[in-house]
Amino acid sequence: MSKLDEMLQAAKDYARGIVKGNTADTLGAPVDLTNLAISPITKAFGIYTDEPTGGSKQIRRFLGLGVEDKNLAETAGTTVSVGGAIKVSQAMLIAAFSSAKKADWDKFTELEKLAAAPKEIYRETGIYRGPIDQIPRMYLSDRKAKIKPKVLITTDVPTNKGIVTNVKLPEGYVFRLDEILDHPELFSEAPELSAVLVKPNPVGAKSLGTGQYAPGGNMMVGNAKDENSFLSVLLHETQHAVQELDGFVGGANSRYFSKNQDEFELARATANKNFMRMKEVLNASLPTGVDVARAEREPEKYKDFLNSIGYQKYKNYGRQVYTLEKGANEAFDTYLAAGGEAEARAVQKMYELSNTEGISKILPTTSGIYDLPTSALFDPATTRPFIEDKVPGLQDIIDEVIGAAFSRK
């Protein structure tokens, strides 16, 4: 690393120390910068050191921390700051606690030592451990959260029930999260989240009620039926940003649980296309007013049709579709059980219940807030169950469909 790069890194550490409340970086980085700036002189006189007195490395060593660690309190609950503050990085469900919450943290650690029940600890402190990663969190209410005015636009969407109105972000724009979400307490506790970038889903009306978060602070939110629905999805995706920020167990998507999602999706689309096309051909071959379903209900009358090569192909395509759809359902169910997804849905549920009296005393992992048993949840970063291994014959069907499709070209 060049001297300029080292100086830039020290400056970044200083800024991050201020933002995150990491006192070692905040106090030590100015000394580091000065040390680097005068290094040509100190090296010439043989007195240069990369661990100057008062620098961040010396402070870290004094605190018993790794000297190269650039994120002091990535594991929540580690009290590392010289001034006694605890890492500030908090959202709907958070990993760490500002100095104002230190009394609650002290009470939490005391009750854990006494082996108190999690519900009791939560009622007393508002702090609980995540069911998968076991990192302490504190619930930050979204009761006052809202979408900023004049951000969303309305759009008319034709449906089979007529024209309906959706709300969405305007196309062609990318927003910072704090330009959309009015949530002062959230951004006060976790200022890093303000810089998360949010854009509309390009598929428009087909994206109704959907959202997506990509590591690195990039979010997409689709159309919604109204502003509250949009906010609910936005809070869900914001929780994924919190998970990345604080090292919580994260979410996933259904694509993640196929060994080769492109092949799976190609096979699924091809099988459905083959099935529907063959159904149309067979329906056209039958007498007027008779379709495949009726022929199947009257096997004696349409015996020859049901024994035909075309019908056997149709049944085979149906078998392929059934297995592939079973794989898709398995992928979706697996996605739902990813710990970060269950937590993000719990955030939405807590938002929906935020006007309920006593919600602040309900432990989020109980009372129906989590929509799956916590025992069923898993960490997708360490566990990756593949649908090809869980659905018998799925890989054979994928190979069969793709092989047939390419053989016809």
Mean pLDDT of 182-190: 90
Write the CB contacts of 357 (distance below 8 Å, at least 6 apart in sequence): none
Site of tokens 């100095």: 99
Least confident of 26-40, 138-152, 154-168, 384-398: 26-40
Rounded Cα distance, 336 and 341, in Å = 6
Provide the 3-class DSSP secondary structure of residue 219.
strand
Which residues are registered as beta bridge partners of 127?
138
| pLDDT tens for each residue of 24-46 | 333 444 555 455 555 555 555 45
pLDDT at 176: 97
Confidence grade of residue 364 (pLDDT, cut at 50, 70, 90): confident
Q: Is there a contact between 31 and 55 (Cβ–Cβ < 8 Å)?
A: yes
Q: What is the CA radius of gyration of the chain?
A: 28
Mean pLDDT of 295-321: 96
Site of tokens 């980085």: 29
Site of tokens 């602040």: 360
Q: Compute how many other C-beta atoms are within 10 angstroms of the C-beta atom of residue 155.
A: 15
The rounded Cα 92 to chain-centroid distance in angstroms is 13
Q: Where are the domains of the chain?
A: 1-72, 146-246, 254-338+378-407
At residue 102, does pLDDT exceed 70?
Answer: yes
Rounded Cα distance, 274 and 224, in Å = 33
Dihedral Cα 103, 109, 115, 120, nearest 10 deg? 30
In this structure, which long-range contacts are made by residues 391-395, counting pairs with CB atoms below 8 Å and at least 24 apart in sequence?
391/323, 391/326, 391/327, 391/330, 393/323, 394/323, 394/324, 394/326, 394/327, 395/259
| pLDDT tens for each residue of 104-141 | 888 999 999 999 999 999 989 888 899 999 998 888 88
Q: How many residues does the chain have?
A: 409
Which residues are registered as beta bridge partners of 25?
none
Q: Which of 96, 31, 25 is nearest to 66 (CA)?
A: 25
Least confident of 69-73, 273-277, 278-282, 367-371: 69-73
More confident residue, 386 or 143: 386
- C-alpha count within 13 angstroms, C-beta hemisphere, residue 368: 3
Burial class (CB in 10 A: 0-12, 13-18, 19+), 263: middle
Mean pLDDT of 389-398: 96
More confident residue, 339 or 38: 339
Rounded Cα distance, 239 and 373, in Å = 20
Q: Which of 144, 70, 61 is nearest to 355 (CA)?
A: 144
Mean pLDDT of 66-81: 28
Q: In the numeric block, which tokens belong to residue 243?
A: 């998970």
At residue 242, does pLDDT exceed 70?
Answer: yes
DSSP designation for 354: T
Q: Which of 54, 57, 87 is nearest to 72 (CA)?
A: 87
Q: Which of 380, 345, 375 is nearest to 251 (CA)?
A: 380
At residue 261, does pLDDT exceed 50?
Answer: yes
Q: Which of 142, 173, 336, 151 is nearest to 242 (CA)?
A: 142
Q: Compute how many other C-beta atoms are within 10 angstroms of the C-beta atom of residue 342.
A: 24
pLDDT at 320: 97
